[in-house]
Amino acid sequence: MARVLLIEDDPNVRDALALALKGREHEVESAASGEEGLERLARFAADVVVLDLMLPGIDGFEVCRRIRAAASTSIVMLSARGDDFDVVGGLEAGADDYVVKPVRPQVLEARIRAVLRRTDGVPSPVESYGALCVDRASLTVSRSGRQVALPPMELRLLLYLSAAPGQVFSRQQLLESVWEHDYLGDSRLVDACVQRLRAKIEDVPAQPRYVQTVRGFGYRFGPV
């Protein structure tokens, strides 16, 4: 019925859910960590990702953001923590649904179906922001209809930022998520990349419309 990627570190839960979903004619692929999940996703074109929050290595929220940056796959979060605070945080990180463990497979499946029903009508991963067009499938960017060639890092940065328009990211967050650097310390690397990106996508780089500076905090993609 659907292609499901299950990211969950507990083998018992993972196997139980995988089995149940397969029994309902879904195609299921499993991963035990965030890293593994992201890697699988690159090759297994999932319709929906079922994502545990408590993962070894990079946590569920970060995995969620990275999935959002790269693809338009739907995400159902799965967590043992059901406080209002957690739920709101999860949904704001970009999840389509948030389910509290333990969960009966029937319920999980019903929620997956509800999420997919919503997605069906939205085929195009092309997002357009003003004159800027970002196509996450072909990884191309165009500005006022004319295609813009972006080097890898600038493209990754743009994808990441534009996946959450309006949200402010610190340089540190960007170094970790986009560059996958883990060292702490001051670096003007992000700044430099932002400048180069602006030179290519902004009409007036000195008054950026898309990639904006938030003094003292970091950068944000739009809104104007």
Binding site for DNA (CB under 7 A): 149, 151-154, 179, 187-189, 191-196, 198-199, 205-206, 213-218
Q: Per the omega criterion (within 30 degrees of 0), is the bond before 102 cis?
A: yes
Q: What is the rounded CA–CA span in Å between residue 203 and residue 183?
A: 34
Nearest approach, Cβ of 151 to DNA (angstroms)? 3
With residue 29 as reference, give the H or E element that holds it. strand 27-31
Nearest approach, Cβ of 41 to DNA (angstroms)? 22
Task: Answer yes or no whether residue 26 interacts with its own copies by CB under 8 A.
Answer: no
Task: Answer yes or no whether residue 13 interacts with its own copies by CB under 8 A.
Answer: no
Cα–Cα distances (Å) from 87 to 95, 111, 213, in that order, read: 10, 15, 29
CA dihedral 100, 67, 186, 218 (to 10 degrees): -80
Closest to its own copies by CB, 43 or 206: 206
Considering only residues 113, 171, 181, 196, which one is a binding residue for its own copies as defined by CB under 8 A?
Answer: 113
How does strand 97-100 pair with strand 74-79?
Answer: parallel
Q: Provide the β-strand partners of residue 77.
A: 51, 98
Burial (CB count <10 Å: 0-12, 13-18, 19+), residue 174: buried
Count of residues that bind its own copies according to CB under 8 A:
46
Task: Answer yes or no whether residue 220 interacts with its own copies by CB under 8 A.
Answer: yes
Nearest approach, Cβ of 164 to its own copies (angstroms)? 7
Which one of its own copies, DNA, none interacts with residue 189, CB within 5 to 8 A by kind?
A: DNA
Task: Answer yes or no whether residue 95 interacts with its own copies by CB under 8 A.
Answer: yes
Nearest approach, Cβ of 152 to its own copies (angstroms)? 3
With residue 7 as reference, give the H or E element that holds it. strand 3-7
Closest to its own copies by CB, 43 or 121: 121
Which one of its own copies, DNA, none interacts with residue 87, CB within 5 to 8 A by kind?
A: its own copies
Report the SS3 class of residue 153.
helix
Cα–Cα distances (Å) from 77 to 55, 119, 173, in that order, read: 12, 16, 21
Residues forming contacts to its own copies in the complex (CB under 8 A) are: 72, 74, 84, 87-88, 91-92, 94-98, 104, 106-107, 110-111, 113-115, 117-119, 121-122, 124-125, 135, 137-139, 151-153, 155, 164-168, 214-217, 220, 223
